Amino acid sequence: MIKANVKFFGHEQDGYGMPKPYHSYLVVASPWEQQGSGVASVIPLSSDTPALDPPHKMSLQGGPEKAFDEVLVLLRGLPQNKGLKELIHKD
């Protein structure tokens, strides 16, 4: 299983010292029923964070690692995340 906090953030700061914009996600990827398959689910953790629709990605080959990598591509492709810095912390 892969569990990661994925953040996209801007260069400016708000009055509390937080970057703006600030988009934080919990991404969990795990094996699925078929041998070698995996599924990754995405949960927005901060307000104004754009959500994926659907909030998960299935990979029939490559396991949870492939599903995780494909979800990152989808998150990076969201218009609200383009051009922002990225930080990934895996547990």
Residues listed for the chain: 91
Closest CA to 41 of 55, 58, 59: 55
CA distance 40 to 56: 5
The helices-and-strands tally (H runs, E runs) of the chain is 1, 5
Q: Where are the domains of the chain?
A: 2-90
- pLDDT tens digits, residue range 35-80? 999 999 999 999 999 999 999 999 999 999 999 999 999 999 999 9
Q: Answer whether 0.75 is exceeded by the pTM.
A: yes
pLDDT at 39: 98
